[in-house]
Amino acid sequence: MLSTFHLRTFLAVVDEGSYSAAAQRLHMSQPAVSQQIRALEEQLGDVRLFRRVGQRMVPTHAGEELLGSARELVALAERAAQSIIALRGQVTGRVLVGCTPSSGERLLPRLLAAFREQFPAVSVELEVAQADALIDGLGERRLSLLLLEEQQRRRGLESQAIGAEPLSLLAPNAHPLLKQEQVPPGVLREHGLLLPRAGAPLRRLIEESLRRRGVAAADLRVSLEADSMTAIVQGVRSGLGLAFVPKICVPGRGEGLGAIDLAGQPLQQEWYLVRARERGLPRAVQSLYDFLAGPQCRALLNKAGILAPA
């Protein structure tokens, strides 16, 4: 009979791409990970489960065949353990959450800290990646919940709006536009912009919002593209150009930056909690989902300046 311990080690190597990274995740030594994989290969009839491609360990054909069943068996074992522990009234388990490399990196840890106070026996692991990779992880059941800037209408996914966050147009302190009131959007054609990479949800939001204000994407002078909001803010501080930045990422006063008063309604970024549409979620996952979609989280969002839906 297959050991869930061996299967967890197998899944860690698949997800991390190396024995050493899997060892760090599992708090084991690298030789111990190698021994676990070898024991699993012997149990399956001396098949090879991994092959090296460049710097990564990738599943062989046999490993790919095992992958889906391994995830199901490990998830089933975790649900069974959680059900027994739940008889004592305690919610426990591990939840893997994903967010994009934008303001979600700053927002989500605050919310998870409050959740941890209420559910100390639930372990949460955060993965930061692009939206497409996160959605793939959700479909593979490697991730349980996502915090994304766009509503997902794909079949099998469920999106819950949890808040809307205004965007500030940042400029270095000496920029002449900071001295003007109600700057027309058309003026942006004359200045360099620092934007998220093409195709990113926030990039699409900015371009569409400006298009509705008469400024086409082709008219924008892009001086820097970056996935990191920290890099974009630093680029503004260094004089590379202007940037639309979520409110939660705006530095405090006295840090060499100011916000331009752009005419019209402020640009606004929405936040959605995304999960797979399925029955029988593990209690730990359901508890985190209920917390993030519930009144306590709404209060935290409002405190952070994010308008949460009623």
Q: Averaged over 246-261, what is the pLDDT? A: 80
Residue 277 pLDDT: 83
Does this chain's domain 1-77 share its CATH topology with 163-269?
no
Residue % of the chain over a pLDDT of 70? 94
Residue 310 pLDDT: 54
Residue % of the chain over a pLDDT of 90? 33
Q: Which of 208, 189, 185, 177 is nearest to 262 (CA)?
A: 185
Structural domain spans, the chain: 1-77, 163-269
Q: Which two tokens stand for residue 167?
A: 């965007």
Tell me the pLDDT tens digit for each residue of 73-101.
888 887 777 666 555 556 788 899 998 87
Residue 28 pLDDT: 84
Q: Averaged over 116-137, what is the pLDDT? A: 88
Query: Domain 163-269's class?
Result: alpha beta
Q: Residue 151's pLDDT band (boundaries 50, 70, 90)?
A: confident
194 to 32, 68, 202: CA distances (angstroms): 46, 41, 12
Which fold would CATH assign to domain 1-77?
Answer: Arc Repressor Mutant, subunit A (1.10.10)
Q: Averaged over 39-60, what is the pLDDT? A: 90
Tell me the pLDDT tens digit for each residue of 229-245.
889 999 999 999 999 99
Tell me the pLDDT tens digit for each residue of 163-211.
888 899 999 988 999 988 889 999 999 999 999 998 888 899 999 999 9
Q: Which of 142, 139, 152, 110 is nearest to 273 (CA)?
A: 152
Tell me the pLDDT tens digit for each residue of 212-223.
999 999 999 999
Average pLDDT, the chain: 86
The whole-angstrom separation of Cα 73 and Cα 175 is 58
